[in-house]
Amino acid sequence: MSPYTLIDHTADLGIRVTAGSLKELFAEAVRALFNLLLRSNRHPRTEKRFIAVEGLDLEDLMVNWLREMLYLFNGKDKAVASVFISSVETTLIRAEVELYEIDFLRDEILEDIKAVTYHQIKVGPLNHGYVARIIFDI
């Protein structure tokens, strides 16, 4: 079963992500974001980058974390090939991401996601794991 589902929102796009741990939740949220953004059938060269992001609380942290990922796409023309979360606390996440350069001629851009919003943001425990709901501005 896919760790994320799409949320129907009139103006924009949302995802609901579930995972067994907070680390996995934040990792799956990134994978979901990039699944929505583009499709690439290439095996391009990647570069590793260490990233640390802060937030006021878990929800703010999730928004800031995905904002950082989206900036890599929109601002630097990079996509995430893989993500490894080293640690997640309520106000800080540390991770290692593998990035590749987007080829706009060969990669298929699926959605023009402009921003990660706080609209209906939710990050918290669910059953024996965690759930997140995030709405993107398109």
> Which residues are near other proteins by CB under 8 A?
6, 8-13, 56, 59-60, 64, 67, 71, 74-75, 77, 102, 104, 108-112, 114-115, 117-119, 121, 135, 137-138
In sequence order, which ranges of 44-88 are alpha helices (DSSP H)? 58-76
Among residues 84, 110, 91, 109, the alpha carbon closest in space to that of 30 is found at 84
Q: Shortest distance, CB of residue 130 to other proteins, whole angstroms?
A: 20
Q: Residue 24 and residue 92: Cα distance in Å, rounded?
A: 15
Closer Cβ to other proteins, 24 or 90, answer by number: 90
Q: Shortest distance, CB of residue 115 to other proteins, whole angstroms?
A: 5
Count of beta carbons in the 10 Å neighbourhood of residue 105: 5
Closer Cβ to other proteins, 71 or 84, answer by number: 71
